[in-house]
Every structure is written in structure tokens, then in C-alpha cells.
A and B are shown apart, each in its own frame.
Chain A
Amino acid sequence: DAGITQSPRHKVTETGTPVTLRCHQTENHRYMYWYRQDPGHGLRLIHYSYGVKDTDKGEVSDGYSVSRSKTEDFLLTLESATSSQTSVYFCAISESIRELNTEAFFGQGTRLTVV
């Protein structure tokens, strides 16, 4: 298994509070991604990173920010959590972005509940 660790694995938080999820990789892959998974939607890309301090928005970036100060760590922050952000969050990594046959490796997921 690819070395990807997400923390925490489960979190319950209150509406309006900031929340940070962490993704840590030991594969030295350049590209890292944050997805959310909701029933009936598959996975949707929130943000991705193509290098240290280089990030870009995905399909559903509103209400989220990211940071990548080191190759191995990619943080996802919910600036002010809302109930609509209750979801399962997956971090993924890949070696390449331009290569069309790139496989993405996924972490175990973080189940976030906003009450």
C-alpha cells in the first residue's frame, strides 16, 4: 500500500468552527489531492497541489483552503464548518499529472460530521 496517512480518521465538530485535516505521504509524490465523497456523487475534487506552495482549486473548492509547506504534507482547512461539509474526505497522491495513465493512490479517508 502507498504510504498515505490521513488524520484524524473521524471528527465531529460544531457549525462555524474551523477544522483542519492532514494528509501525510511517504512516497515523495509531487501531486496531492483532496476529494470529498458523498452518496450519489462519486468523488469530487476540492483542491490539488502540484508542488510545495503550488495549489489550485478543484470542482468544489468554496469554503475550503489548502496549504502545502512540505512535499509530504497537504492540509485541508474548512474555514467555518457548515453542515453541508459533512462528508468523507479522501487524500490522494500521484507521481505525475501530465501522463494520462497516472494512477492515484488514496488514503483511508476522514469521516467529518458537522453538527
Chain B
Amino acid sequence: AQSVTQLDSHVSVSEGTPVLLRCNYSSSYSPSLFWYVQHPNKGLQLLLKYTSAATLVKGINGFEAEFKKSETSFHLTKPSAHMSDAAEYFCVVSRMDSNYQLIWGAGTKLIIKP
């Protein structure tokens, strides 16, 4: 069965410093993986997705994620944080053993200090 674990409920970084949001998954199949972002009181927006092509995936707003099968990880990174990056980030895996289901991590709240 698929599952997703986001290793940190909160991450706090200073503006201009790198961001690392960690995600581990378990899957019996080759998964599709996504990162979504939710800004305060807003809906959810796709940041990036991995679909078995390149293992390094580039997304919007300077974010990228690397799929590491040996570590079952899909960590989200950004070289330099901006105040507008303050939001909650969700790592998501797509199931393959049923009609459809996205399995969501519990979320990581990213706090940017000035």
C-alpha cells in the first residue's frame, strides 16, 4: 500500500537561505509524486510532479525536487527563500492499485523569517 510521510510539520528559514522540505513515500509500484502548495486561506496549487521521466523535477517559483528511488524520497528544495514562499506544502503520491486516489502527506508549514 502507498503512504507518504512528511518528516517536518514546520520548517523555519531566513529569507535568502535554502529551503528543504522532506518527503518519504512507500509504494509497491513506481509512483507518480507531486508537491502542492497552499497559501493561507487559499486553494491548492501544483508546484511540480514526477512521472518517471527525469529524476530531477523543476517546478514553479524556483522549486525543484529530486526523486531518489533507493531512499524512497522526494524532497523539495529551493536555493533562496522568499517571503512569498510562506505557505503549507503537501507531498502527494498517486495510487495505482485502485481506480484513483491521491495519498496526501500531512503537510509542512514553511515559515520565512525576515
By a beta-carbon cutoff of 8 Å, the part of chain A in contact with chain B is: 31, 40-45, 48, 50, 56, 58-59, 90, 92, 97, 100-104, 106-109
Contacts and interface: CB of A to CB of B under 8 A. Distances in A.
Q: Is the interface of A mostly helix, strand, loop or mixed?
A: loop
B14 to A, nearest CB: 26
Contacts of A40: 9, 106
Contacts of B100: 31, 48, 50, 97
The 8 closest A-B pairs by CB, nearest first: A42-B104, A101-B51, A100-B32, A106-B44, A106-B43, A97-B100, A43-B104, A108-B43
Interface string B14-47: 0000000000000000001010000000111110
A95 B18 CA distance: 35
A104 B34 CA distance: 10
Nearest to A101: B51
Interface in B93-108: 94, 96, 99-102, 104-107
Interface of B: 4, 9, 32, 34, 42-46, 49, 51-52, 90, 94, 96, 99-102, 104-107
A107 B27 CA distance: 28
B32 A101 contact: yes
B67 to A, nearest CB: 13
A63 to B, nearest CB: 19
Contacts of A109: 43
Contacts of B34: 103
Contacts of A106: 43-45
B49 A103 contact: yes
Given A100-B51, A106-B44, A44 B104 contact: yes
Given A90-B43, A100-B32, A59 B51 contact: no
A109 B100 CA distance: 21
B99 A56 contact: yes
